[in-house]
Structure 1
């Protein structure tokens, strides 16, 4: 029986919410908020942080919130509680994505502790990788992590398929770069050097002059012609890395949340073994391109994330809003 006091449980809940804020999110929008009522954590979508041009249906918002939900689950379990989770518990409240309560006392296993320890260490990468190989056994472990959350991670082995993913990413980036409303929305989440903001993409988190890899995967142009970016040595950033796609059988709001949870498990396991990930969602934001990928390269499953995995020496700092800014306690 769990005999911890209400004060101890309250402390655990606050720790879980802090962990949630370190989840990855599209353009680091951090599109979530939390309400705590007794021992229940409510995860809610923050519609004010939704990308109304780039993500009108909210798919990327829910994938981001799914990653935050995974962090809550890991934190509770690492701190000695079995998380009791209800996903999309109230159809009349679409912004309420999940509720989580600390359940029975448990002893966290080594795997849980390992993933939990990576929550604040994990970083998104926005350049090429070193030529150091990614161990096949680690890729298999990442595939298993995704499978445990009801999603599928597929490392792309075929050279022609990799070229297609590369070409379609670059094509989507070129089209989006000509879309003024989309570009203005992106600029809104690009942080200038020295900015005190605690959200958005820091200018120091991508190279000023990135090296092209072959095949090339286009990155978002957060600088938009301005002299932003890191001057860190990019001589080692010569490899595309391992291209992988995360898919789900369905494409409902529940599937998007599941994809986010699977994505975060993948990223934390990768981080624990020195592996970083770069994301490419441009093509997934364009219906016809996403549908093409689903039918031609994803075995009819719905692509939720295209990523590259590899080893880098990136030591960029993460920025997050404080938990007090996203938490409402009742």
Structure 2
């Protein structure tokens, strides 16, 4: 086992890792840096009790950050061996990473550059078709993880059922006072390092976009009457901590590959937060085989559209701490 990279390298890699998307931009992760390992913990203080009562989306968000970190480190010549849930007595300890010297990887460098460019674009996309070869390449980016599948919603009937799920979830949430208070708490602010700021929120163009507070991002000027967004469904064989973490890792791989190809993306989860709606998606779109964990919308942004502003992140000093020596007895 080799020593860790220097402090500045670790800091730069974690700074890219925390660019990962998270539900309501809660950033529910904590990092502990040891002499030879980096550890990822879930920060339960950032759980959304109304939106995410079982912490599923919290763990999915952390999985995306874990994959981002691995990409960032591989790009600068550090390979990682990941031990997921290494401490059975501490379920918040999501992963321990051993680092080993490796040659810098060109494909990882490409994805690391995409980390800095990726944004959650909630605006309307254009009617420009995403070629099937592009869709296949994006789907393939998430195909290497056992127990996780990326499904394209590729028929008219499937798409209509998914859109109905968005409408039904939004209707259920409109009548949920706790959910709406939580949404207001985590959106619409102007100077906060967390939550969805006003400058990144849009007036919902359709039911796929939540009504975040005080939307200030101008909608793209799109003259087309129909957009050609593609919908991808990340699903897992198990609906547990393992499945949730791996779903986040796969979602990160898909989002970065799409971004590297110039596509606009947005991770969506509202239909999966209402139990009855999520059950219906599982039945109607997955045939009761597997569990839906995240929806990814992707397409071409209008060339005239202004760039989506960078969403703020918490200072690294708030989320990175030295670690005591910890066991790496977990399964890889």
Cα distance between partner residues in 1 of 2:55 and 2:263: 28
Deviations 1:91-135 (A, max 9, x none): 1011111011212x2123321111111112100011220112212
Superposed displacement of residue 272, structure 1: 0.7
Give the counterpart of 1:296 among 277, 280, 284. Answer: 284
Q: Does 1:222 align with 2:218?
A: no
Give the counterpart of 2:191 among 196, 200, 207. Answer: 196
Q: CA 1:11–1:93 in 2, change beyond 3 Å: closer, same or farther?
A: same
TM-score (norm 1): 0.90
For structure 1, which runs of at least 5 residues remain unmatched after alignment?
none
Cα distance between partner residues in 2 of 1:202 and 1:275: 23
Asked if the contact 2:40/2:95 (under 8 Å) is kept, the reply is yes
Superposed displacement of residue 304, structure 1: 0.8
Deviations 1:234-261 (A, max 9, x none): 3357515112211111112011110000
Asked if the contact 2:30/2:320 (under 8 Å) is kept, the reply is yes
Asked if the contact 2:123/2:219 (under 8 Å) is kept, the reply is no
Q: Does 1:231 align with 2:227?
A: no
Superposed displacement of residue 196, structure 1: 1.5
Superposed displacement of residue 186, structure 1: 0.9
Deviations 1:154-176 (A, max 9, x none): 11111011011001111111110
Superposed displacement of residue 201, structure 1: 0.6
Cα distance between partner residues in 1 of 2:276 and 2:220: 38
Q: Within 5 Å, give how 1:8-87 maps onto structure 2.
A: 8-87=5-84
Question: What is the number of equivalent residue pairs in this alignment?
Answer: 316
Q: Which residue of 1 aligns with 2:239?
A: 251
Cα distance between partner residues in 2 of 1:86 and 1:137: 34
Asked if the contact 2:119/2:266 (under 8 Å) is kept, the reply is no
Cα distance between partner residues in 2 of 1:273 and 1:267: 10
Give the counterpart of 2:85 among 85, 88, 93. Answer: 88
1:55 counterpart SS class: coil
Superposed displacement of residue 232, structure 1: 4.6
Superposed displacement of residue 270, structure 1: 0.4
For structure 2, which runs of at least 5 residues remain unmatched after alignment?
324-332
TM-score (norm 2): 0.90
Q: CA 1:233–1:248 in 2, change beyond 3 Å: closer, same or farther?
A: closer
Q: Within 5 Å, give how 1:98-247 maps onto structure 2.
A: 98-103=95-100, 105-150=101-146, 151-192=148-189, 195-208=190-203, 210-212=204-206, 217-223=207-213, 226=214, 228-236=215-223, 238-247=226-235
Asked if the contact 1:142/1:153 (under 8 Å) is kept, the reply is no
Q: Does 1:315 align with 2:307?
A: yes
Q: Which residue of 1 aligns with 2:326?
A: none
Asked if the contact 1:129/1:240 (under 8 Å) is kept, the reply is yes
Q: CA 1:21–1:80 in 2, change beyond 3 Å: closer, same or farther?
A: same
Superposed displacement of residue 144, structure 1: 1.1
Superposed displacement of residue 148, structure 1: 1.3
